[in-house]
Amino acid sequence: MRFRCERDVLFEALSVVGRAVSTRAGALQVLSGVRLKLTGDELRLLGTDNELGISMEVTVGGAADGVAVVPSRLFAEIVRSLEPGAVTVEIDGETAQVSAGRSQFAVRVIPPDEFPRPSVAVGDQVEIDAQVLDAALRQVVPAASTDDSRPILTGVLFTAEDGDLRLVATDSYRLARRDVRGQSVLQDGQSVLLPSRALTELRRLLGSASTVTVQLGQNEASFSVGRSRLVTRLIPGEFPNYRGLIPQSHPNKLVVNREALLDAVRRVRLMAREATPIRLLQTAQGLDLLAITQDVGQAHETVDASYEGEELTIAFNPEYLVDGLEVLGDDEVVLDTLDARNPAVLRGTESPDFLYLLMPVRVS
């Protein structure tokens, strides 16, 4: 294999596909590599950890076709270190020669026969708005769990809802639900569970793209964006009954400016050390925020707000509250509460398609 490519183009491609490369200790050596396949002037790069795969095609000056697997991190670092301009890569046998200007590197390659075959999602191709999907993922993905001991909760549920697409994620302490109107990639009654890690990487690929092509199969899902493609295995199992978690009625309603509340929470949480919750005292006069940490101190702030209901003090994990406020796009938000023990719902006054459910923290 032999080709020439601009340094920045090659480095970007190596960086993109390298995010799927395995970094786990004890993983097969071949999974720490990136597969290069040159056909004519088309170079296809692929990285995978057997759960997630990212591929990208770039146009190069091809001189000799071939297939090779190079060590992902080292190869990318070498390319990045080179001076701007054309880079020549020549792979023969067990060695990859990388040269640019006066710099020359020789890198041991990994036998390509051991590299996994690329996964292929079998299903109908559906083209949807990339920016709409990106906005929905931004709101929902942070609510998924990062605890691999409960794999079901590390996923985001994609389900058909009245002809639209609904995304749901929960880590059992909070839940995010977003309806994407006019976008459907599933049949009525169908749902799939996608790893949140894969969706985080998908957001990187979406960038400023206008459309993304989605294929949802029995075991895999694929997303094609321009000349990049992401394939991920689906998470098997049954997602929790999220509908039963959302209260049907809330006698207490707080309406407050989103930025004002967000800024106040960020200030008050400076005193919320060691998992200390922030208390929200809701009264007809407005909203008071309070955080008290023993042997450290306390913080208190008053925020203008409109409140209907019985006087109520409810406490939340400040990080989860900030996460919800950050992804709401409305100027004003509504906090619906039942009491200090049952889930509260945070939503925008103008955006009925998104809600963020929070479990209160019990305080004495």
pLDDT tens digits, 12-51: 999 999 999 988 756 688 899 999 999 999 999 999 999 9
As given in the structure block, the two tokens for residue 166 are 């609904």
In a domain, 47, yes or no: yes
Q: Which of 244, 263, 286 is the last residue of a domain?
A: 244
In a domain, 119, yes or no: no
Residues 261-311 have pLDDT tens digits of 999 999 999 998 878 999 999 999 999 999 998 888 999 999 999 999 999
Say whether both 269 and 342 belong to one domain. yes
Q: How far apart are CA 117 and CA 232, in angstroms?
A: 13
Question: What pLDDT shows up at residue 217?
Answer: 83
Say whether both 84 and 59 belong to one domain. yes
Q: Which of 244, 271, 299 is the last residue of a domain?
A: 244
- In degrees and rounded to multiples of 5, residue 38 shows phi and psi of -105, 125
Question: What would the DSSP string read from start to end of 61-101?
Answer: EEEE-EEEEEEHHHHHHHHHHSPSSEEEEEEETTEEEEEET
Residues 143-197 have pLDDT tens digits of 999 998 999 999 999 999 888 999 999 999 999 999 999 887 888 778 999 999 9
- Using the Cα atoms of residue 65, residue 69, residue 72 and residue 76 in order, give the sign of their dihedral: negative
Say whether both 265 and 180 belong to one domain. no
Q: Which of 114, 138, 173 is the last residue of a domain?
A: 114
Question: What pLDDT shows up at residue 25?
Answer: 57
Q: How far apart are CA 311 and CA 160, in angstroms?
A: 39
User: Where are the strands (E) in 219-353, listed by range?
Assistant: 220-225, 228-233, 252-257, 278-283, 286-293, 297-303, 305-308, 312-316, 332-337, 344-348
Say whether both 99 and 149 belong to one domain. no
Say whether both 132 and 107 belong to one domain. no
- The answer to whether the beta carbons of residues 163 and 148 sit under 8 Å apart is no
Q: How many domains does the chain have?
A: 3
- Number of neighbours of residue 144 by Cβ within 10 angstroms: 24
The strands making up 164-170's β-sheet, listed across from edge to edge, are: 191-195, 155-161, 164-170, 174-180, 354-358, 344-348, 332-337, 252-257, 305-308
Does the pTM surpass 0.85? The reply is: yes
In a domain, 322, yes or no: yes
Mean pLDDT value across the chain: 94
Question: What pLDDT shows up at residue 295?
Answer: 84
